[in-house]
Amino acid sequence: MNAPKGSTRRTALKRFAAAAGAAAAAPLLGPLDPARAADQASEYIGAAAWETVLDGSFASRATLEASWNYLYPWGSDHNGTARMYASSSDANHLWLSPSGVLNIKATRITWDEGNSSKDPYLPIHYHSAAIHAKRQVLVNDTYPNWELRGQFQAPSAPGTWPAFWITGANSWPPESDILEFKGDGRNWFNTYDGSWDNTIVPVSSPGSWHEYRIWMTKTSATDVQIHYYLDGTWKAAHTGSNFVGKAMNIIINLQMEGSSGSSGPSGDTLYRAQNVYVGRTNNG
């Protein structure tokens, strides 16, 4: 997201924080227009408490490996038909462009590699890649506000299933899907806290660069509110019940088939990411 004209990065972050604070206070203040929330509640959170957790991690293989681990947190398989194969010595399905772009490629295989080890145990049809951040998201009194965002070129053909998401490190729920395409041109902004809250947004040309973002703020001893944005435009606010105090992994992956359809592409599928950023307020 671009900072308002004439403002600094710090001022922009203060506006982000104020918007979240205003939304959290909505039951007391009455309904708020998300576009004006920052102006209505600028006193809630000061930008001096802001800190960067993750930024610039796709500049080189060294910076990538300093900030991210390969595969899913639980291994190579998940709920689709792609098995993840990236590593320090295997760049067939995950590599970096000199411009700071992460590239993930899914390739259809022609041999029998058995089934995924994860429910619903689908047959493996593709090799692909995933990474998860070494640092986790944890909403609590010390870190009550978080921003996660990135720019992505996402595949949207039937059978392609790219994602940028956070999910419980030690339990499920919680989950928040910042980017998820399921075989068509709609992004699914999802929150799972035992039941699903879905906001489905059409995206013009998902294969072009778009920014996907959340602002997550602690609203009670147990709950958070998550604001979802596409290209800087507010799209939804979801409640995440019992998210507070639960560590969450940050994942970027290209899964295939499964929820995106059973007839995936025969050729290669590419998914690209750049400018992935994570920040938080620190009350410590």
- Catalytically active residues are 175, 180
Count of alpha carbons within 13 Å of 151, Cβ hemisphere only? 14
List, in order, residues 6 or more apart from 127 with CB less than 8 Å away. Answer: 82, 83, 84, 85, 92, 93, 106, 107, 109
Count the residues in the chain.
284
174 Cβ contact partners less than 8 Å away, ≥ 6 residues apart? 166, 167, 168, 192, 193, 240, 242, 243, 246, 248
The label of the residue with tokens 């998820």 reads 180
Integer Cα distance of 175 and 19 in angstroms: 22
CB atoms within 10 A of CB 124: 20
- Residue 260's Cβ-count burial label (10 Å; 0-12, 13-18, 19+) is buried
Identify residue 36 by its one-letter amino acid code. Answer: R
